[in-house]
Amino acid sequence: MSTSILLVGCGKMGSALLAGWIERGIAATAVKVVEPGQPKVPHGVAVFPSLAAVPADFAPDVVVLAVKPQVMAEVAPPYARFAGSAVFLSIAAGKTLAFFARALGDKAALVRAMPNTPAAVQRGITVCVANPLVDSNRRAACQTLLEAVGEVAWVEDEALIDAVTAVSGSGPAYVFLLAETLAAAGKAAGLPDDLATRLARATVAGSGELLRQSAETSAQLRINVTSPGGTTAAALAVLMDDRAGFGPLLERAIDAATKRSRELAG
């Protein structure tokens, strides 16, 4: 891949993307990073403290905006000089295509992406939406860059990004909470703290890997481990209660996160 990339921001997600690109065979010399700190980057990747320090003749094919949403309004506008020649790929939660059109101008080809934190181990999933100026080649370039850290999906309706944020963007926290509460429940049942924590962590991680590798649905995998009248069935009777169980609780949680995503997007 010969795409030249300007990565703006090299925090956790930016670093994960950068590592994935290099592992996928993108030349270090094809990537330039703008980061005022001193990030650890693969050998050969040039880091600059500001856009002003980037060589004036550098013309990136993709500008990846990976700074925090709180500072995006300040950071993004100077990059408008690449509008028309590059595609902008944003991974900033809550910042809409309309926001970037205002910040970068109406000639900017824009892709808004919602990744999640398993990207750090190349097991993430990212959902994207593009504005009409993103052609098939630019879309493919963005997809290739994001596939370096996991799966990629696209939607045509930007409004769906709020629900995506609630399900997959925030979703890892729900899984970590499951491991946390499963361990706490084990401790309450009398298990030693370290054993309860180990059991919960290994069970959640192993079940996730089984789900990833299996061709069966999550519902079928649940059925496979549930013997009629057994211990799992007894627990699931509580967790699957129509009113107080896991299903309605998670629906309320996703609804709350979706509403908050809309609020943050303005």
Q: How confident is the model at residue 11 (pLDDT cuts 50, 70, 90)?
A: very high
- Tracing tokens 């990059």 back to the chain, one arrives at 79
Residue percentage of the chain with pLDDT more than 70? 100
pLDDT tens digits, one per residue of 19-41? 999 999 999 999 999 999 888 99
Q: Which amino acid is at 181?
A: T
Note every long-range contact of 97-105, with CB atoms under 8 Å and residues 24 or more positions apart, other chains counting. 97/129, 97/131, 97/158, 99/72, 99/73, 99/266, 100/65, 100/76, 101/131, 103/72, 103/73, 103/76, 103/77, 104/76, 104/77, 104/79, 104/80, 105/80
Mean pLDDT within 101-125 = 97
Query: What is the DSSP annotation of 166-218?
Result: IIIISHHHHHHHHHHHHHHHHHHTT--HHHHHHHHHHHHHHHHHHHHH-SS-H
User: For the sheet containing 109-114, what is the strand order?
Assistant: 46-48, 31-34, 5-8, 62-65, 87-90, 109-114, 124-130, 150-154
Phi-psi region of 24 (alpha: psi -120 to 50; beta: other; left: phi over 0): alpha
DSSP string, 77-114: GGGGGGBTTBEEEE--TT--HHHHHHHH-TT-EEEEEE
| 225-263 per-position pLDDT tens digit | 999 999 999 999 999 999 999 999 999 999 999 999 998
Report, as an integer, the average pLDDT of 199-228. 98
Q: Is 207 exposed, middle or buried (0-12, 13-18, 19+ CB in 10 A)?
A: middle
The pLDDT assigned to 135 comes to 97
Nearest to 115 by CA among 176, 75, 170, 41: 170
Q: Give the pLDDT score at 21.
A: 97
**pLDDT recorded at residue 37:** 84
Closest CA to 203 of 232, 170, 244, 229: 232
Residue 264: phi and psi, rounded to 5, are -65, -30
The pLDDT score that the predictor gives to residue 38 is 82
**Band of pLDDT at residue 165, cut at 50, 70 and 90:** very high
Strand 124-130 with 109-114, pairing: antiparallel
Q: Are 168 and 127 in contact (CB under 8 A)?
A: yes
Q: In a 3-state reduction of DSSP, which class is residue 61? A: coil
Domain spanning 5-159, CATH architecture: 3-Layer(aba) Sandwich (3.40)
Global pTM exceeds 0.95:
no
Domain ranges of the chain: 5-159, 171-265
**Domain 171-265: CATH architecture, name and number where available:** Orthogonal Bundle (1.10)
Average pLDDT of span 146-170: 97
> Based on the number of CB atoms within 10 Å of its own CB, is 122 exposed (0-12), middle (13-18) or buried (19 or more)?
middle
